[in-house]
A and B are shown apart, each in its own frame.
Chain A
Amino acid sequence: KNEVEQSPQNLTAQEGEFITINCSYSVGISALHWLQQHPGGGIVSLFMLSSGKKKHGRLIATINIQEKHSSLHITASHPRDSAVYICAVRSSPSGSRLTFGEGTQLTVNP
């Protein structure tokens, strides 16, 4: 079992739909990152969370430390949101390593 599990693996939505991507992890963490990767390759850091909730534009990220679970929500989805979304955790305060989930491929159709 991977230390970081994402669901779903693939998600297809219609423009305007509300989208949720889930991340569960099995280790103690000091921080959780949500990353976005477009087909061109570059990775953009969307959020870093250690507790609670963060919002940036149409994106919302939440984390429940007790349940070891985080969600990424996209409101009013748009085709330009089509990308791979990756959850990554830093497993200890002194750790330099990120443990990545397998990613969620999101396709938003017009």
Chain B
Amino acid sequence: DTEVTQTPKHLVMGMTNKKSLKCEQHMGHRAMYWYKQKAKKPPELMFVYSYEKLSINESVPSRFSPECPNSSLLNLHLHALQPEDSALYLCASSQVAATSGNTIYFGEGSWLTVV
């Protein structure tokens, strides 16, 4: 199983809503990532979890709140988002975060629209 599974695939939310994006992998990877991608742009790193601990936060606004309940799951909690937060949110995983020899596996992404 080399899959990273993301749910939901599409999400439309109002600016006052609270929602969550979910990501799951069963490859035994200990590093998991959240990326944000706007149209026709490369992905931008948001957060890195290494061994279930947050190791990198790329100065992401607090309206995005990551959570890693266990080594297989990664959530991104969303609250009071702005329309400019509409984007594709990609989850990824690798064996460990800080080793050059790791292949990184991406999920299909969650398309988020904030209205």
Chain A interfacial positions (CB closer than 8 Å to B): 30-31, 33, 35, 40-45, 48, 50, 86, 88, 90, 93-98, 100-103
Q: Does B59 contact A (CB under 8 A)?
A: no
B109 A42 Cβ-Cβ under 8 A: yes
B101 within 8 A of A: yes
**Alpha-carbon separation in the docked complex, A93 to B98 (Å):** 7
CA distance A96 to B102 in the complex (A): 10
**B90: CB under 8 A from chain A?**
yes
Tell me how many residues of B have a C-beta within 8 Å of chain A. 28
Contacts A41-B88, A45-B106, A103-B42; is A96 near B100 (CB within 8 Å)?
Answer: no
Contact B104 A30, beta carbon cutoff 8 Å:
no
- Among A31, A40, A44, A103, which residue has its beta carbon within 8 angstroms of that of B100? A31
B105 neighbours in A (Cβ, 8 Å): 45
Chain A residues within an 8 Å CB radius of B103: 33, 45, 48
B108 CB–A CB distance under 8 Å: yes
**The 8 A-B residue pairs with the shortest CB-CB distance in the complex, in nearest-first order:** A30-B100, A100-B42, A42-B108, A43-B106, A41-B109, A96-B97, A31-B100, A96-B48
A96 adjacent to B50 (CB under 8 Å)? yes
Inter-subunit contact B101/A42 (CB<8 Å): no
CB distance from A101 to the nearest CB of B (A): 7
Least CB distance from B29 to A in Å reads: 13
Across the interface, name the chain A residue whose C-beta is closest to B110: A41
Q: How far is the CB of A83 from chain B (nearest CB, A)?
A: 13
**A42-B48 in contact (CB<8A):** no
With A41-B108, A44-B106 already in contact, the answer to whether A94 and B98 are too (CB < 8 A) is yes
Known pairs A43-B106, A44-B106; A50 contacts B56 (CB<8 A): no
| CB within 8 Å for A96 and B108 given contacts A86-B42, A101-B42 | no
